[in-house]
Amino acid sequence: MAEKELIEQLKVGGIVSIRDYLLEQQAKGLKIARTESGDPSFAIPDNVKIAMNKALSEDKTHYTAGAGIAELRKAIFKRSTEHNQLHLNSFANVIITNGAMNALFGVFHAIVDHKAYKILVPTPTWTETATNVTEVGGTPVFYKFDPFSKTPIDLNELENLVCEDDKIKALIINSPHNPTGKILDLANLKSIIAFCQKHGLFLISDEAYEQVTFDGIKHISPASLSDYDKMITIFSFSKSYAMSGVRLGCVCTKHESILKKLSKIVRCSINGVSSVTQWGGVSAVLETPQSYFDVNLAEYTKRRNAIYEGALKSPFLNPVKPEGTFYLWCKIDANWRPDIKENRSWYMTLEYLKLGVGSAPGEVFGPGGANHIRFSFSCSTADVLFAAEQLPKLV
């Protein structure tokens, strides 16, 4: 396929158009809750600010090794071994990327490798996951992710999809899951690993929200459960340390060929991540006090409870109680405007905009998002409390 055609196929996140509209309304002085997108309202940890300033004043501003500075790779190796219990061999199994987005792009690129391979992607999904598969010339094959079920991923459906198509080479999971807030439990994860092993598929685990879990539910990294060598774990600094604009993420895997390809892709696309950012990352991993996470989680919990309660008060929203992430996912009740047959989530988003509440229509998260709507609670607590009050006012 010609490059132009490929790029024309890419979908730019629908949430961006909603954000632009909200910013316009805000500029006019209207009260608006920025509950459409997922950017933590918190500041990055002080220790990270100090480390970045120090790197600048010590002139650590030159090219770094393509796969990242050894200090950061070692820090992530230590944390992912001790905290996530990944079975890695050494820091050579860690590659530094420009956020998890860049990690997804690199991993998909390494797997698809210009062979038009396909990757199993949940639906609903964070839009850019599917877009990245397309961007590297692959095809996303959607499988259903049902947050209302105890086992959101149906193994029978996956079996059928794989048996019908030998171009499928990988399965991506994302737990805690954007947009539904669902966390995959131990039994789910074990059966998914066994499935990937049986079919020789790569298991890509996007763990961008690993630190945001509620009610004592533990996030489990699938790569802590097995020595299967085709497991790839992706982490982000955007949500855990609120470093979304600083841009930092990484890939952890023992798979030699993926590591080799990914190093080349990172080297020849971004030529390494900003040195100052990487030094900030070392401090984020090694020096961030537990209190930083505790304080943020307490605030997220307050917001989660408020917005969930607000949604429960509306006869038109059937919410999933978020187990993790900072997203509330709701099914739109059939009794809401039965005259509207198509694009119902877009209509509801527009109605909530009139009430000063930002949201993301379920349709932007793929076919499985139709008839759903997502509210984010990563913006300020005041915004979330305002949104919670507005949710039941929809008619």
Ligand X SMILES: Cc1ncc(COP(=O)(O)O)c(C=O)c1O
Q: What is the helix, strand, coil percentage profile of the chain, to 5?
A: 45, 15, 40
Q: Give me the least distance between CB of 340 and ligand X, in Å please.
A: 28
Interactions with ligand X, residue window 130-189 (CB under 6 A): 174, 178
CB of 183 to ligand X, least distance (A): 13
Q: Considering beta carbons, is residue 106 or 310 the nearer one to ligand X?
A: 106
Q: CB-wise, 208 or 258, nearer to ligand X?
A: 208
Q: Give the C-alpha separation, 136 to 113, whole Å.
A: 8
The binder of ligand X chosen from 45, 66, 99, 281 (CB under 6 A): 99
- Give counts: helices (H), strands (E), the chain: 13, 11
Q: 252 phi and psi, to 5 degrees?
A: -120, 125
- Min dist CB 99 to ligand X, Å, is 3
Of 128 and 351, nearer to ligand X (C-beta) is 128
Q: Looking at residues 35 to 64 of the shown chain, list those that interact with ligand X (rule: CB under 6 A).
A: 38
Structure tokens of 312? 């429960």
| Residues 32, 378 contacting (CB under 8 angstroms) | no
Nearest-approach distance from CB 310 to ligand X, in angstroms: 22
Radius of gyration in angstroms for the set of CA atoms belonging to the chain, rounded to a whole number: 21
Nearer to ligand X, 111 or 336 (CB): 111
| Minimum separation from the CB atom of position 276 to ligand X (A) | 17
**Candidate list 44, 95, 101, 130; residue touching ligand X; CB under 6 A:** 101
Which C-beta is closer to ligand X: that of 35 or that of 236? Answer: 236
In the beta sheet, which residues pair with residue 202? 170
Q: Is residue 202 close enough to count as binding ligand X by CB under 6 A?
A: no
C-alpha distances in Å from residue 62, one per residue of 7, 99, 158, 275: 32, 20, 46, 7
Question: C-beta of 146: minimal distance to ligand X in Å?
Answer: 17
- By Cβ distance, which residue is nearest to ligand X? 99
Q: Strand 327-332 to strand 317-320: parallel, antiparallel, or no bridges (unpaired)?
A: antiparallel
Pairing mode of beta strands 360-361, 372-376: antiparallel
Which CB sits closer to ligand X, 206 or 323?
A: 206
Q: What mask of x and - would describe binding to ligand X in positions 227 to 266, judged by CB under 6 A?
A: ---------x-x-----x----x-----------------
**Residue matched to tokens 């085709």:** 230
Backbone angles phi, psi at 293, to 5 degrees: -70, -40
Calculate the alpha carbon distances from 10 to 1, 204, 265 in Å: 13, 21, 20
Work out how close the CB of 286 gets to ligand X at its nearest, in angstroms, rounded to a whole number: 19
Stretch that binds ligand X, among 93-101, 106-114, 265-273, 375-383 (CB under 6 A): 93-101
Residue 392 CB, shortest distance to ligand X, in Å, is 27
**Contact between 269 and ligand X (CB under 6 A)?**
no
Q: Which is nearer to ligand X, 236 or 253 (CB)?
A: 236
Output 88 or 208, the one with its CB closest to ligand X: 208
Q: Tokens at residue 162, please?
A: 């794989």
User: What amino acid occupies position 186?
Assistant: L
Of 94-102, 106-114, 304-312, 380-388, the segment contacting ligand X by CB under 6 A is 94-102
Length of the chain: 395
Nearer to ligand X, 210 or 383 (CB): 210
The phi-psi region of residue 234 (left if phi > 0; otherwise alpha if psi is between -120 and 50; otherwise beta) is beta
Local structure of residue 378 (DSSP, 8 states): -
Nearest distance, CB of residue 263 and ligand X, angstroms: 19
Q: State which residue, 178 or 345, has the beta carbon closest to ligand X.
A: 178
By the rule CB under 6 A, 126 interacts with ligand X: yes
- Strands of 61-201 (E only): list them: 94-97, 118-123, 139-144, 168-174
Distance CA 79, CA 77 (A): 6
Residues lying near ligand X in the complex (CB under 6 A) are found at 38, 99-101, 126, 174, 178, 206, 208, 236, 238, 244, 249
